């Protein structure tokens, strides 16, 4: 099973070989409320760590989704165009945003593991 790492901005990346799938955490989707629209990047776009990769609009607010790691977009979740609520119902599964080909895997060392992220979120309440 691939390990999921988290940023302080509540994005996650799950690495599988040289690529990583990116989404937002349950905490982030709960804070946003019902997601009604997701703007995804083009395939082939290259991002540096912490670049804005997508925009999420909910009934409460609009928010940017940042890349927790650098890479090139090799796939986007087209299902979010038809059903953006997947972000709410399955944030760690069908609600993913983009898949990147990683350009600097050492950036994963800057991210939190599940236990550290859970403690981080508890400290926000």
- Contact predicate 30/85, CB 8 Å: no
100 located within any domain: yes
Q: Is 87 helix (H, G, I), strand (E, B) or coil?
A: helix
**CA–CA separation, 71 vs 84, rounded Å?**
24
125 located within any domain: no
Q: What is the pLDDT of residue 113?
A: 96
**CA–CA separation, 95 vs 103, rounded Å?**
23
Q: What is the pLDDT of residue 12?
A: 98
Q: What is the pLDDT of residue 125?
A: 75
Domain at 75, CATH number? 2.40.50.100
9 located within any domain: yes
Domain that holds residue 98: 4-105
27 located within any domain: yes
Structural domain total, the chain: 1
22 located within any domain: yes
* pLDDT per position as a tens digit, 2-54: 789 999 999 999 999 999 999 999 999 999 999 999 999 999 999 999 999 99
pLDDT at 1 over 80: no
120 located within any domain: no
- Contact predicate 91/23, CB 8 Å: yes
Cα–Cα distances (Å) from 35 to 21, 97, 120, in that order, read 19, 13, 24
Give mean pLDDT, residues 86-93: 97
* pLDDT per position as a tens digit, 98-107: 999 999 999 9
117 located within any domain: no
44 located within any domain: yes
């Amino acid at each position: 099973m691939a390990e999921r790492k988290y940023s302080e901005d509540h994005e996650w990346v799950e690495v599988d070989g040289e690529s990583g799938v990116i989404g937002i955490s349950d905490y982030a989707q709960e804070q946003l409320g019902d997601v009604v629209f997701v703007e995804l990047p083009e395939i082939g776009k290259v991002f540096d760590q912490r670049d804005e990769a997508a925009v999420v609009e909910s009934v409460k607010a609009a928010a940017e989704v940042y890349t927790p790691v650098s890479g090139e977009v090799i796939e986007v979740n087209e299902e979010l165009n038809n059903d953006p609520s997947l972000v709410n119902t399955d944030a760690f599964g069908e609600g993913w945003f983009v898949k990147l080909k990683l350009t600097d895997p050492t950036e994963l060392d800057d991210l939190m593991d599940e236990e550290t992220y859970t403690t981080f979120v508890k400290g926000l309440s």
